[in-house]
Structure 1
């Protein structure tokens, strides 16, 4: 594998945090459950709940005769898991709430089929409200078998407690650098510190070869986002692109006038623009200014731009027409050729939950957890789960996303590209709808030391190990 000459950035804010913030903007306005509220029955998930498959995955849920109080949170009749989000964060109400809603829907879907080997799945739903992740983790440590499908923006503050109480997790997403490399931590689509999936960038270059001629990345006054920009520039360099230093940096507080920045981008000689920032009034202001000055730039943005906020804004302005984004998850528009996407949409619709990329991550995480839990049978222990999850080296959530390696904490080596026109996204690469472009060379090695993380020989963070 090719090696980056410089280090990978911290993930807080630059990737997953902005993903969470962006996705929350198109979430629902439904009232949330109280933190820690058990939700074992949940809403009906329609006829999809009786299905024996999810995409190309045989359903891990169903009747059975499993028995025994084998571990914390496991009895003859129930398995208690924790899940949740940051929906109560005062500065961004509803933050990540689609994740909690999705796991709740999957619990209902699973229980309507008979649970896991006959044991009902009971969920303790938590609201970390961004800054309360440590308190949530301490509560979960006392009552849950595992954490499943959760996404807490400040998970780094909670990691010492999770490791201290030996609480395994199959997370929806992980942000903190030590959390991302923590012991007994699994993700359906891993984003480790020491490897990076460059397929999204390489696939964008397949669609727009002019990116290789000269791509520039928008700077930010946010240190975390700025570090993410540096990472992307290094990866583009590894892929053979000419990276232009246009010197354009936007304040995370916004700008009074975006035209001077647009003029500078127009005149700097770049043919393409990469933006790490999530879709927001700041980014929209710049794009509208670029439209006014008639800048001829190809736009290639993070997958965070695939959401209803972008659709609604671009339907009015058209300022991002032609923008492409690399994705490892299947877009909703591919539901007609990807059964897993249709199953996902049916389950969430039946539960009254909103779809979204974060929601897909949570669903895939739940399915991964349930699939291994089924294999453990009556011997449902944390030890069995960790051993089983460690042996899963190809996972796609039934076809929801590109294959990944949860057991080895390795990212996918694939991506597909969607293009925005008006309010509609459409896959443009590969040409065959629903297919991914894959190459092991897309996975590039990075150095976790930039995030202050020390790994042992098993690629596990040593920060909180006993």
Structure 2
């Protein structure tokens, strides 16, 4: 997902990518990260890098103490994280998220943990369909969930709220999770406001195509909700979208040619997809090419990744691909210290670097920043209070500024394009720069939300009297 971004098998099924955890069971939880004690961590703190881009490290030694909440002791803080890497139809799905959190836990513990408490992480594999099982396990032992991303998070949300599992996810997908209670994200993707930079920028790039785009329909409920929201954002940016009547089975079609023919007959010159770069989607665009269509292909940030590069390297079918970003490109590591630091830490552990990994990294840093402020009073109540008070956040320079405390997205963006196997920034022209504008923050129509919100913009679906709320 943008970002998400939420950025999508993970911007509506939110996002995609790869790799593996050596110590995860087929169900999910295995306590996989640091077992070095606080004393050992303190020894190495003197030589540890204590900055992450423009952000002073929230990690370090200290004298915090007390068993203040579930998963917190004098010496340890237990957090859960994870992805959908065990999903059979897309092995390794979003594994870069776990790679990132594991690397960040090590980096933090090398400095002394959080106020001297060592972070112990449990790496969960939701495998797409087991998100609720994962959450049930986390509810028994973890202090919080941090930097995770489960495409079917709607199946786990009731369980999470019922056990007061406060969370700082890397991304959310379902409406109830996106505006869920006790949830804060480095890059928020709420249902009632959207960063519309992508559509406004596309309008500037292709002003002659404002009446020639259509959305690729799907049978997946989360994508259906996402497309309704996308349509309202596109219209706010000046587009009059076509309605070619194409709906594609999320699980795949025997042939995509009839759907491609329908788009051709409809006269489209641009296609927006809320799916991720997965085999079924590649087969669809092969059919688009087969019938002689050559549209501008437009998608969320999940289309910035290795799978699209590898597919396009030999075929060139995605040479018209554009993807919107609120994050810096990995290619900008020489210009952006936070990106360079992210790559350094993850690659040192043999992990994969990708956009979703940066999302998880931002959320981990957000969590750690709040945890540091809580000191010995490390409770979920304190974490909710601290997270709700953070209103300017860019992950040390990883992405455009957001407002996690109010669950508000950025008002900035940039556009990348794919040619062969190479991504380049195409808007704005200045590399590593975002274009920002107040009008990019779009208030969406309540009919597109997919959930009811209270006056605090929190989803009311699973609220109960014991939910933790920010205290003045």
TM above 0.5: yes
- In 1, are the aligned partners of 2:192 and 2:449 still within 8 Å (CA)? no
Q: Distance in 1 between matches of 2:262 and 2:47?
A: 54
Deviation at 1:254, TM superposition (A): 4.0
Tell me the alpha carbon deviations over residues 209-233 of structure 1, each in whole angstroms, 9 at most, x when there is no partner. Answer: 2332422222334454344333322
Aligned twin of 1:352: 350
Please point out which of 18, 25, 28 is paired with 2:13. 18
Measured in 2, the distance between the counterparts of 1:261 and 1:157 equals: 31
> Could you tell me how far apart the structure 1 residues matched to 2:21 and 2:168 are?
26
Q: Deviations over 1:124-167 (max 9, x none)?
A: 22223333322322322222221111112232222222222222
1:42–1:108 contact (8 Å) kept in structure 2: no
TM-score by length of 2: 0.88
Match of residue 24 from structure 2 = 33
Partner residue, 2:426: 428
Rounded to whole Å, the distance in 2 between the matches of 1:97 and 1:349 is 14
Aligned residue runs from structure 1 range 207-218, under 5 A: 207-218=205-216
Contact 1:178–1:453, Cα closer than 8 Å, also in 2: yes
Partner of 1:369: 367
Structure 1 equivalent of residue 48 of structure 2: 50
* 1:320 alignment partner, SS class: coil
**What is the 5 A alignment of 1:48-197?**
50-197=48-195
Matched residue, 1:305: 303
Structure 2 residue ranges without an equivalent (≥5): 1-5, 37-43, 465-472
Structure 1 unaligned regions, length at least 5: 1-10
Structure 1: distance between partners of 2:213 and 2:139: 47
Would you say 1:268 and 2:266 are equivalent positions? yes
Distance 1:271 1:155, change over 3 A: closer
User: CA shift at 1:400, angstroms?
Assistant: 0.9
For residue 199 of structure 2, what is the aligned residue in structure 1?
Answer: 201
Aligned residue pair count: 450
Please list, as runs of the form range in 1=range in 2, the aligned pairs for 1:369-388 lying within 5 A after superposition. 369-388=367-386
**Within 1, Cα distance between the matches of 2:262 and 2:134?**
46
Task: Name the SS of the counterpart of 1:441 in structure 2.
Answer: helix
Rounded Cα–Cα distance in structure 2 between residues aligned with 1:439 and 1:138: 42
Shift of 1:389: 0.4
Q: CA RMSD in A?
A: 2.6
**Cα gap change, 1:30 to 1:243, in 2 (>3 Å):** same
Counterpart of 2:393 (choices 380, 395, 411) is: 395
Matches of 2:257 and 2:221, distance apart in 1: 24
1:434 Cα offset (Å): 0.9
Q: Does the CA contact (< 8 Å) of 1:273 and 1:298 recur in 2?
A: yes
CA gap of 1:348–1:379, structure 2 versus 1, over 3 A, is same
Aligned counterparts of 1:381 and 1:251: Cα–Cα separation in 2? 44
- Alpha-carbon shift at residue 169 of structure 1 (Å): 0.9
TM-score between both structures, scaled by the size of structure 1:
0.89
CA distance in 2 between partners of 1:238 and 1:397 (Å): 29
